[in-house]
Amino acid sequence: MRGAHPMVVDARSLLRLNVGLGLAAVFTCLLALTAGPGSLEWASVLSDTLGVDSVIVFEVRLPRVLMGFILGAGLAVVGAVFQALMRNPLADPYILGVSGGAALGGALGLALVPLGITLLGPQLCAFIGALVSIAALFRLARNRTGDAALVLLLGGVVFNAFAAACILLLESLLRAEQAQAILQWLMGTLRLDGTPRGLLLGVGLAVACSVAYALSQANVLNLMALDEGQAQASGLDLQKAQRRLLLCVSVIVGAVVGVGGLIGFVGLVVPHIARRWLGPDHRLLLPASAWLGGGLLVLCDATTRALFDVLHTDLPVGVVTAFVGAPVFLFLLARPSGAR
């Protein structure tokens, strides 16, 4: 996982990177506010804060854009962290069983809505499912000796398969419209209709704090990229560092799936792009992944809204990220790692 020409990392290069990508992210978010069905009178948006156009921009589109950026940044950072922990460039945010637990919890929450059981809601049920799977997997890893990351990986693969089977069983037992709602949510969506603002704020804070912690561990991840003997010789408690980082990224995955469903390719493709551009140093790789991942998901969601007038349906954002991410990833695989 080496880059073509790694940049020299100092305070000035970090500042330039964050300012440049930050400004690009702000421009992307502002551009995304203009995407959607129909047309808006932007003069009235700014002059009449209680008008219909202002409500559409500030109450509907702005929360969706901000949440999309936070979730995209979280997915990209999780992908970069997993690729370092597993020493595997094909690792992605859904490699652990946390996504399966969250998906199963959310599916159960959606199934309970027609029964009048709406106190928890699918988003909160998904987050609870993620926390339960985190606790179960970490209990499994604690009871076994050896590489915690490997134990969590194998346990996660099995748990994801079990959760997928449970979701298929649930869909087969539900009415067609309920099964369709679960399918659309699992395909990835940033529609926040009916989602409590308090829950969105909590999810946003959880993801932002976890991303900040991951960014603070950039030097630790650089050591983990070495072989295990070198990392331990440097004084790093490898097991403890792995557990903390895995807990951090598990919280992010649970929050993302709870709100947006399974949004693919962001956490796989974005770290590859950042690594090709900046090299393998996580002090640059992690912040670049966060900015690029947030911007990518915002653009993909804006695309779904821009296509509404043509398709007369709100495409799942996970479909757009797959259409964008799959060819880009294949291009990166086909291109030599030293090529510009």
Burial class (CB in 10 A: 0-12, 13-18, 19+), 49: exposed
265 vs 217, 296, 314, 326, CA distance in Å?
A: 24, 10, 20, 7
Q: Which spans in 34-147 are helix H?
A: 42-47, 52-55, 62-85, 98-112, 121-142
pTM for this predicted structure: 0.86
Which helix (H) or strand (E) segment holds residue 213: the answer is helix 197-216
| pLDDT of the residue at 303 | 93
CA 183/CA 168 separation, integer angstroms: 10
Q: Give the CA-trace dihedral at 330, 333, 339, 340, to 10 degrees.
A: 40
DSSP per residue, 149-191: HHHHHHHHHHHHHHHHHHHHHHHHHS-HHHHHHHHHHHT----
Length of the chain: 340
Q: Sign of torsion, CA 278 282 283 285?
A: positive
User: Where exactly are the structural domains of the chain?
Assistant: 52-334
CA 278/CA 200 separation, integer angstroms: 33
The amino acid at residue 97 is: G
Q: Which two tokens stand for residue 195?
A: 């989602």
Classify residue 191 as left (phi > 0), alpha (psi -120 to 50) or beta.
beta
**Are the C-beta atoms of 263 and 71 separated by less than 8 Å?**
yes
Matching residue, tokens 């050896």: 146
CA 219/CA 262 separation, integer angstroms: 30
| pLDDT of the residue at 8 | 57
Matching residue, tokens 């649970």: 254
Burial class (CB in 10 A: 0-12, 13-18, 19+), 119: exposed
C-alpha closest to that of 75 among 317, 327, 336: 317
Tell me which of 1.10.3470.10, 3.40.50.10140, 3.30.420.40, 3.90.550.10 is the CATH number of domain 52-334.
1.10.3470.10
CA 88/CA 80 separation, integer angstroms: 10
Cβ-Cβ contacts under 8 Å for 99 (sequence gap 6 or more): 93, 130, 160, 253, 257, 262
| pLDDT of the residue at 66 | 93
> Residue 186's CB: how many other CB atoms inside 10 A?
20
**Are the C-beta atoms of 206 and 255 separated by less than 8 Å?**
yes
CA 145/CA 164 separation, integer angstroms: 28
Digits of tens for pLDDT over the chain (340 positions)? Answer: 444 444 557 778 888 898 999 999 999 999 999 887 877 776 677 777 777 778 888 888 898 999 999 999 999 999 999 888 877 777 787 877 788 888 898 888 888 766 655 556 777 788 788 888 878 887 877 766 666 667 777 888 888 899 999 999 988 888 888 888 888 888 888 887 767 778 788 888 999 999 999 999 998 888 887 766 666 677 777 778 888 888 888 888 888 888 888 898 999 999 999 998 888 889 999 999 999 999 999 999 999 988 887 887 888 899 999 999 889 888 877 876 555 4
